[in-house]
A and B are shown apart, each in its own frame.
Chain A
Amino acid sequence: MSLGTDVLALAYLVSAALFILGLKGLTHPSSARRGNSFAISGMVIAVVATLLEGGIHSYGFIIAGIIIGGTIGTVIAMRIEMTAMPQLVALLHSFVGLAAVLVAIGTWLNRDAAGLLNPTLAAELAVGTFIGAVTFTGSLVAFGKLQGLVSGAPLSFSGQHLLNLLLGIAMVGCAIWFWSDYSATPLLLMTAIALLLGILLIIPIGGADMPVVVSMLNSYSGWAAAATGFTLQNNLLIITGALVGFSGAILSFIMCRAMNRSFFSVILGGFGAEESGDESISAAAAERGVKAAAVEDAAFFIENASKIIVIPGYGMAVAQAQHALKELMGVLEDKGITVVFAIHPVAGRMPGHMNVLLAESDIPYENVKEMEEVNPEFSTADVALVVGANDITNPAAKSDSSSPIYGMPILEVSKAAHVFVIKRSLKPGYSGIDNLLYYQDNCSLIFGDAKEMCEALFTELKGGH
């Protein structure tokens, strides 16, 4: 039915264009919602066209799947809290990976039954299965780490790189075997190894490197779709897969650049210390001259400031302090004080994590600035308020060449006139090292939960001094 095929191809072209325009809409918040609408339209057109012109013979399972999946997806999306966004995204990536594996197996079953298997198709199926399987289990592990089901600490064991290498070789072997006889055993074996590799690759990566992992898995899910496109000779899958694949890859690159670590050093893992309770550090704090401050002290300095820069970090997300920060900002702006939020690219557990949380609490995006834009402003800021951020403020990244974070671009918090850091304790952050900022003369620590401290600051400032 060539007319049908042409209509389908045209529909796919329109879909692809809508996806591209949709992503383009995300270049600015004002066009972003329109972009989302374009993308939805593209998806609807693609699905409807496939249902009508794709040579479909039975609709029952398909319609049922869409209704069930659609309902589950909608309910989850409407009820999930913004702070659970990284976990949700990781979980959704795993679904795409699994779907890709199932589609590959299903395609193999269909083509086998029709006697249409050939070497090219076999190679494409092998690639699709591999990428899909790694994405599936890798994303599940990422989900587990983000949700706290699996330890966030990097889990390494000796010989793991060798093990991964051996598994990789075994898998290539199976792929070649499959390529020659298209039988079930090599295909299933290959899938099993890939599933295992997915787990082994993500387990050694520490919790705070998750922004890179999430982006990476986002990328993989795209390549899985593209590979599926090759097997089904479906150009829309190929195009869309490439778009998503690049999106994740570019985000990963940006994250790695922001940490000044190479992609491979992040992926091979093993970085970052276990968050162990070390009371002696707090005890030694006074000895080493870390100043503790009360909320009232900070309020005094803040009240007399004309410009304040707030630096949010993962601690803010954990304590859900973003709403308290909004209220704090309200009372400060009423007093004519300028409030700016400084975002470091890898603050939080996901690219743009802080931006979403601040947006959720209704903080206008004009007040939220990225690192490169805001760094020059620290020297003219009267007060810098660090809320649950650590490594991204540590001057050791510039001065201490032996430090694991050396070379990482940081927020120039130390240049502000007065620095207040809200922190639960003196436990080291993800990198396990001391933050030199805390020993500076102009820096004081406010010990406590981010939300409680921000609310206390708000009360203090509102009540008048």
Chain B
Amino acid sequence: MSETLVALYIFALACFIGYQVIWGVTPSLHTPLIALTNAISGIIIVGAILVTGSENTSATTQWIGFIAVTLASINIFGGYFVTHRMLSMFRKKK
């Protein structure tokens, strides 16, 4: 199987998982859900790291990659802390 086909397999299965998991999220937590998925979409940092640090990267590409890494990091840290703050607020009645 070609790499692309494997990737498509994984994509299709991930779609099914995504559908199942997300429908289970309770409506009161939809805003934290958006914040958390935002943080998770910071996974683009992996792409940015690979682009910046790879073997034949030119100086221009390193700068482009640096900006991408910075942006993704803002998302990751910002997203997680904001989600954490929000989730800390949802408490049970004492």
Residues in A lying within 8 Å of B, measured CB to CB: 19-20, 22-24, 26-30, 32-33, 35-36, 39-40, 42-43, 46-47, 50-51, 54-59, 61-62, 64-74, 76-78, 80, 82, 85, 88-89, 92-93, 95-96, 98-100, 102-103, 105-107, 109-110, 113-114, 120, 214-215, 218, 221-222, 224-226, 228-248, 250-251, 254, 343, 345, 350-353, 355-356, 359-360, 362, 364-368, 370
A95 with B72, Cβ < 8 A, contacts A242-B14, A242-B18, A343-B27 known: yes
Of A27, A61, A367, the contact of B24 (CB 8 Å cutoff)? A27
A247 with B27, Cβ < 8 A, contacts A69-B70, A77-B81 known: no
Of A55, A74, A100, A367, the contact of B81 (CB 8 Å cutoff)? A74
A78 with B81, Cβ < 8 A, contacts A29-B26, A110-B61 known: yes
Of A89, A95, A229, the contact of B35 (CB 8 Å cutoff)? A89
A238 with B10, Cβ < 8 A, contacts A102-B68, A366-B93 known: yes
Q: Is the CB of A246 within 8 A of B19?
A: yes
| Chain B contact surface mostly | helix
Q: Is the CB of A102 within 8 A of B28?
A: no
The residue among B34, B37, B41, B92 with the most chain A CB atoms within 10 A of its own CB is B41
A337 to chain B, nearest CB (A): 16
A28 with B26, Cβ < 8 A, contacts A74-B77, A92-B38, A247-B18 known: yes
Of chain A, the residue at the smallest CB distance from B83 is A36
B22 to chain A, nearest CB (A): 5
Of chain A, the residue at the smallest CB distance from B24 is A27
Q: Is the CB of A51 within 8 A of B18?
A: no
In the complex, per-residue mask of B1-37: 1 if CB is within 8 Å of any chain A CB, else 0: 0011011001100110111011111111111111111
Of B6, B11, B21, B72, the contact of A99 (CB 8 Å cutoff)? B72
B60 to chain A, nearest CB (A): 7
| Number of A-B residue pairs with CB-CB distance less than 8 Å in the complex they form | 386
Cα(A198)–Cα(B74), bound, Å: 22
Cα(A109)–Cα(B58), bound, Å: 8
Q: Is the CB of A102 within 8 A of B18?
A: no
Q: Is the CB of B31 within 8 A of A57?
A: no
Docked complex: B42-92 residues within 8 A CB-CB of A = 42-58, 60-92
Cα(A103)–Cα(B87), bound, Å: 32
B89 to chain A, nearest CB (A): 4
